[in-house]
Amino acid sequence: MKAINKKNQAMVTKASNWLIKYYDANDKRDIASDNNEKDNDEDCKIWRGFNRLCEKTFDKYEDCIAYLPKREIKNIENSDLY
Protein backbone atom coordinates (compact mmCIF):
# COMPACT_ATOMS: atom_id res chain seq x y z
CA MET A 1 0.00 0.00 0.00
CA LYS A 2 1.29 3.43 -0.90
CA ALA A 3 1.11 6.36 1.50
CA ILE A 4 -0.11 9.79 0.45
CA ASN A 5 2.95 11.41 2.04
CA LYS A 6 6.32 9.66 1.71
CA LYS A 7 7.33 10.37 5.30
CA ASN A 8 4.39 8.24 6.51
CA GLN A 9 5.21 5.27 4.28
CA ALA A 10 6.92 3.19 6.97
CA MET A 11 4.01 3.49 9.39
CA VAL A 12 1.43 2.85 6.63
CA THR A 13 3.32 -0.32 5.70
CA LYS A 14 3.40 -1.45 9.35
CA ALA A 15 -0.31 -0.73 9.78
CA SER A 16 -1.13 -2.61 6.57
CA ASN A 17 0.92 -5.60 7.64
CA TRP A 18 -0.80 -5.75 11.04
CA LEU A 19 -4.18 -5.47 9.34
CA ILE A 20 -3.33 -8.40 7.07
CA LYS A 21 -2.23 -10.45 10.10
CA TYR A 22 -5.49 -9.54 11.87
CA TYR A 23 -7.65 -10.73 8.97
CA ASP A 24 -5.65 -13.95 8.72
CA ALA A 25 -6.17 -14.63 12.44
CA ASN A 26 -9.85 -13.67 12.12
CA ASP A 27 -10.36 -16.21 9.32
CA LYS A 28 -8.76 -18.91 11.47
CA ARG A 29 -10.91 -17.85 14.43
CA ASP A 30 -14.04 -18.16 12.27
CA ILE A 31 -13.02 -21.67 11.20
CA ALA A 32 -12.38 -22.62 14.82
CA SER A 33 -15.76 -21.15 15.75
CA ASP A 34 -17.50 -23.27 13.11
CA ASN A 35 -15.75 -26.37 14.43
CA ASN A 36 -16.62 -25.29 17.97
CA GLU A 37 -20.37 -25.29 17.20
CA LYS A 38 -20.21 -28.86 15.99
CA ASP A 39 -18.58 -30.01 19.23
CA ASN A 40 -20.78 -27.83 21.49
CA ASP A 41 -17.68 -26.74 23.40
CA GLU A 42 -17.69 -22.97 23.96
CA ASP A 43 -14.32 -22.93 25.71
CA CYS A 44 -12.31 -24.34 22.85
CA LYS A 45 -8.60 -23.65 23.39
CA ILE A 46 -7.96 -23.15 19.71
CA TRP A 47 -10.68 -20.51 19.39
CA ARG A 48 -9.44 -18.67 22.46
CA GLY A 49 -5.91 -18.69 21.07
CA PHE A 50 -7.02 -17.18 17.77
CA ASN A 51 -9.25 -14.70 19.58
CA ARG A 52 -6.30 -13.54 21.68
CA LEU A 53 -4.20 -13.28 18.51
CA CYS A 54 -6.93 -11.18 16.86
CA GLU A 55 -6.98 -8.82 19.83
CA LYS A 56 -3.20 -8.44 19.84
CA THR A 57 -2.87 -7.85 16.11
CA PHE A 58 -5.71 -5.32 16.03
CA ASP A 59 -4.18 -3.50 19.00
CA LYS A 60 -0.88 -3.31 17.10
CA TYR A 61 -2.75 -1.97 14.05
CA GLU A 62 -4.40 0.70 16.20
CA ASP A 63 -1.02 1.62 17.70
CA CYS A 64 0.35 2.17 14.19
CA ILE A 65 -2.53 4.31 12.97
CA ALA A 66 -2.34 6.46 16.10
CA TYR A 67 0.78 8.04 14.59
CA LEU A 68 -0.78 8.66 11.19
CA PRO A 69 -2.74 11.67 9.97
CA LYS A 70 -6.46 11.23 9.31
CA ARG A 71 -6.05 11.23 5.54
CA GLU A 72 -3.60 8.29 5.72
CA ILE A 73 -5.99 6.37 7.98
CA LYS A 74 -8.85 7.10 5.60
CA ASN A 75 -6.69 5.86 2.72
CA ILE A 76 -6.06 2.57 4.54
CA GLU A 77 -9.74 2.16 5.45
CA ASN A 78 -10.84 2.78 1.86
CA SER A 79 -8.37 0.24 0.47
CA ASP A 80 -9.04 -3.39 -0.39
CA LEU A 81 -7.29 -4.44 2.83
CA TYR A 82 -9.97 -3.02 5.07
The pLDDT, as a whole number, for residue 39 is: 60
**pLDDT tens-place string over residues 7-64:** 999 999 999 999 999 999 999 998 888 776 666 555 578 888 999 999 999 999 999 9
* DSSP assignment of 6-74: GGGHHHHHHHHHHHHHHHHHHHHHHHHHHHHHHHT-TT-HHHHHHHHHHHHHHHHHHHHHTTS-HHHHH
pTM: 0.85
The pLDDT, as a whole number, for residue 81 is: 84
pLDDT at 1 over 80: yes
The pLDDT, as a whole number, for residue 40 is: 53
- Per the model's pLDDT, the better-predicted residue between 59 and 81 turns out to be 59
